[in-house]
Amino acid sequence: MRNFVSYIDISMIERIIILDKADPVSFYGVNNCNMQLIRNLFPKLRMAARGTVIKVIGEENETADFEKTIHLLEEHCTKYNKLTEDVILDIIHGEQPSVAKTQGVIVYGVNGKAISPRSANQQKLVDAFDSNDLTFALGPAGTGKTYIAIALAVKALKNREVRKIILSRPAVEAGEKLGFLPGDMKDKIDPYLQPLYDALEDLIPPVKLKEYLETNVIQIAPLAFMRGRTLNDAVIVLDEAQNTTTHQIKMFLTRLGMNAKMIITGDVTQIDLPRSTVSGLVQALRILKNVEGIGKVEFGKKDIVRHALVQRIVDAYERYDNEKNSELDIRITDSKSE
């Protein structure tokens, strides 16, 4: 009988690498094409990738180089939300990846889309956010104030300047009745918060966004859910603030904690509160007018970055309101003269 002796190569080690920042789908590529290319470029190593975990077996110096390369690739993928064959080859060969330079980029969205200010006032919002812990962004629909605010929050999270993002809106009916919507409370509330989800879906890959939402790194909640909280290490965005009451906006503003920044967005021409109720945003702007550390950026019609028709619609409604007010003034004058 022949004796078989098995030998264990003690020079071989196993390393486990965790992708804790990059989106795995973006990192591995379509049908794992990026991972296959990496395997081909490290032929001496055995590796397996699943979810956010990459296991690699090989000689110590080879696996160490591999781990270093994976971290460099992850940094690039985290920043740009995209990893291409050219970038992989550049990084593995020790070269600086050639990426199209876009001046003033706030953050890179899904598939590497560069998110940059598209108007002078959007740039002012970026500058105000950098200079202040509380910033008001005011103006009509379509000016990008909420989108830029959320982009700034995502940038701060990616750069690890904060640990979470908190997005909120008052659940005020604009002609609809909340109680008659189908479903439980979450089903009733979510339609009011959908614009916030829409912006996030443009900025963060789906798998990573789902992870952030499930772990409360990103929290989206109605304004009423903010009561009693102290919001530390966060970027906090309150959207549609014109529909807050005096007590609501005061409550929200006083949630600001340590290492936190807050952006309040709103359009004072689109208040959906009952006529007898004073808008908390309008009142807050008067009360906080001279408080140090608060920035304010006012957007106008020229800042509208949606479909060109949106600006014409805004103009038409503005003319209608002016004509209506002029007619009202004439009727008041006529009644006084009688």
User: The domain spanning residue 295 has which CATH number?
Assistant: 3.40.50.300
Residue type, 8: I
Residues 6+ apart with CB under 8 A from 324: none
| Tens-place pLDDT, residues 227-278 | 888 899 999 999 999 999 999 999 999 999 999 999 999 999 888 888 888 9
Inside any domain, residue 194: yes
The answer on 159 and 80 residing in a single domain is no
Identify whether residues 154 and 55 lie together within a single domain: no
pLDDT (tens digit, 9 = 90+) per residue, 158-207?
999 999 999 998 876 544 445 555 555 556 567 778 889 999 999 999 99
- CATH assignment at residue 26: 3.30.1370.10
Examine the domain organization and report whether 87 and 120 are in the same domain. Answer: no
One domain, residues 166 and 276: yes
Q: Is residue 165 domain-shared with residue 295, that is, in the same domain?
A: yes
For 264-288, the DSSP string reads EEE-TT---S-TTSPPHHHHHHHHT
Residue-range definition of the domain harbouring residue 131:
107-306
82 and 116 within one domain: no
Give DSSP secondary structure letters for 219-264.
Answer: EEEEGGGGTT--B-SEEEEE-SGGG--HHHHHHHHTTB-TT-EEEE
The pair of three-digit structure tokens given for residue 4, joined into one six-digit string: 């078989």
Question: 24: Cβ–Cβ under 8 A, 6 or more apart, which residues?
Answer: 51, 52, 207
Number of domains in the chain: 2
Does residue 323 sit within a domain?
no
Say yes or no: 219 and 293 in one domain. Answer: yes
* Amino acid identity, position 106: I
Structure token digits, residue 61 = 């110096």
Average pLDDT, the chain: 86
- Is 172 inside a domain boundary? yes
Question: For position 181, what pLDDT does the model report?
Answer: 52
Report the amino acid identity of residue 124. K
How do the residues of the chain divide into helix, strand and coil, expressed in percent and rounded to 5? 50, 15, 35
